[in-house]
Structure 1
Amino acid sequence: MTEAVATPKSVSSRTKAIIAIAAGAVLLLGGGTTLAYWSTTQTLAGGTVASGDLDIQPVGGQTWTLVGEDGTEVVVTDLSTIDIVPGDTLQLTGDFALTLIGDNLVADLTVSDVANLPAGIVTPVVVNVEDSTGVAFPGTGLTSDLNGETVSVNVDFQFDPQTVGTDLQLTDFTFEDITLTLTQVQP
């Protein structure tokens, strides 16, 4: 008795049919024919927005004042004519026009290059601002409320009151290229 054996022809026909179906599906899905999905568009109303502005400009000259620990103040016309001692503060005062344009603009006014200050000067240097109505506030958190204002800026350089012994006696303190920097900060 002979057994019935599947002939290669029947397996081959079945395999060919599966391959043909798969190839057809590939052609329908990605081989040139695309499936359409619903879509729609809407045009949004446009417009123009302007960027803000940030600037500081001197208005007139600046003056120096020597402020002692006891609060006495002496206007200094020539820095080379004074001798400071620990605890004294040299105050640089000037008027500056501020440009602060921006709906969410917040800026700080600082002295840059603090590392270049003479040894013995306390850091951070204190910057105070006074608006045209005489209201004083620190040079931080400035907003567009001050746009167009001319403000008086005081920068205090204090000789470190913790200086001990004979440290820094007969020392020349050179203040050159003092730069006020108005920088946008995170609100």
Structure 2
Amino acid sequence: MKNKTMLKGAAAIALGGALLLGGGGTLAWWNAADSAAAGTIVAGDLNVEAAAGVWTDRAGSTIDISTYRVVPGDLLTYTQDLDVTLEGDKMAANLVAERTGAADGFDPASVTVSAPTLTVGGEAIENPLTTSQHVTASITFEFKSGTTARTDVGSSVDLGTVAFTLQQIQQPGLQ
């Protein structure tokens, strides 16, 4: 009789264990959840709007680039007013000249192209820009007087494609 009782007890324990493990039981890890108002992320803005640019010669006289014929010793300056929009925490950008390299027809042996000069209200500023502002950008093209023989005579380079571009960078000193 003792064996029968032990057998019934073991069967009851096994059945109870099976019920607990089989889905009707409470052998689960505790957990809880709650939510918080994390907020909204809003994207910043990087933009540049350009006014019509102006070409001038070494004397500062306005020229029509479509009809002007350069000669060695000429210095041409392209100046353009730009409305720069830089909105965002840690936003920074460099204002650079585009389409002014050797691949664009500017032979470094014959033409020196300067980096952009930037001013705000007549005061010189440096890259990188970190705030929205009205910027005047200038770049010079010096056609070297030491050009020999007939180098580049009759050459044509489309200066109408010169442009200023904002390139976002990581603001120096910030992570």
* RMSD value, Cα: 3.2
Alignment of 1:12-91 (within 5 A): 28=21, 35-59=27-51, 61-67=52-58, 73-79=59-65, 80-86=67-73, 88-91=74-77
Q: How many residues were matched structurally?
A: 150
- Three-state SS of the structure 2 residue aligned to 1:176 is helix
Per the alignment, residue 141 of structure 2 pairs with 157
After superposition, where does 1:116-131 map in structure 2 within 5 Å? 117-120=104-107, 122=111, 125-131=114-120
Using a 3 Å threshold, how does the CA distance of structure 1 residues 169 and 101 change in structure 2: closer, same or farther? same
1:89-143 deviation digits (Å, cap 9, x = unpaired): 32111211111111111111122334553232557651121012x22134x3111
Gaps of 5+ in 1: 1-20, 68-72
> Is 2:168 the partner of 1:184?
yes
Are residues 108 and 34 of structure 1, via their aligned partners in 2, closer, same or farther at CA, if it must alter by over 3 Å?
A: farther
Residue 36 of structure 1 and its aligned partner are, at CA, apart by 2.3
Instruction: Report the TM-score when normalising by structure 2.
Output: 0.66
Unaligned runs of 5+ in 2: 1-13
Distance, in Å, in 1 between the alignment partners of 2:50 and 2:26 is 67
Measure how far apart 1:164 and its partner are: 4.3
Counterparts of 1:185 and 1:129 in 2: how far apart (Å)?
A: 17
SS at match of 1:81: coil
Amino acid at match of 2:117: N
8 Å CA contact 2:50–2:81 kept in 1: the answer is: yes
Change (3 A) 1:158 1:57: same
TM-score by length of 1: 0.63
Q: Which runs of 4+ in 1 moved over 4 A?
A: 31-35, 121-125, 160-165
Do 1:120 and 1:160's aligned partners in 2 also have CA atoms closer than 8 Å?
no
Preserved contact between residue 111 and residue 125 of structure 1 (Cα < 8 Å): no
Alpha-carbon contact 1:130-1:152 (below 8 Å) kept = yes
1:65-107 C-alpha deviation (Å, 9 max, x unpaired) = 223xxxxx33232233343315x43211121111111111111
Q: Which residue of 2 aligns with 1:105?
A: 91
Amino acid at match of 1:85: P
For residues 119 and 150 of structure 1, do their structure 2 counterparts lie closer, same or farther at Cα, with a shift above 3 Å needed? closer
Amino acid aligned to 1:118: G
SS at match of 2:39: coil
Separation of aligned partners in 1, 2:62 and 2:105:
19
How far, CA to CA, are the matches of 1:184 and 1:124 in structure 2?
Answer: 23
Aligned twin of 1:14: none
Query: What percentage of aligned pairs have identical amino acids?
Result: 29
When Rg is computed on C-alpha atoms for both structures, the one with the higher figure is 1
Counterpart CA distance in 2 for 1:39 and 1:182 is 50
